[in-house]
Structure 1
Amino acid sequence: MISPSAKEVFIQGITADGRTFRPSDWAERLAGVMSPFRPGGATPGSHLSYSPWCVPTSIGGVKCVIVHADLREHDVMAWDFVMNFARDNGLQIAEACRVPDVPPAPLP
Structure 2
Amino acid sequence: MVQFRTATADIEPVYTHQLQQILALLSQQPSAHVELFGFADKRGTSDTNKTLSLSRSQAIASYLINNGIAHERINIMARGENDAQYAQHDNEGLFFDRRVIINVKAS
Q: Which has the higher strand share?
A: 1
TM over 0.5, yes or no? no
Q: Which has the higher helix share?
A: 2
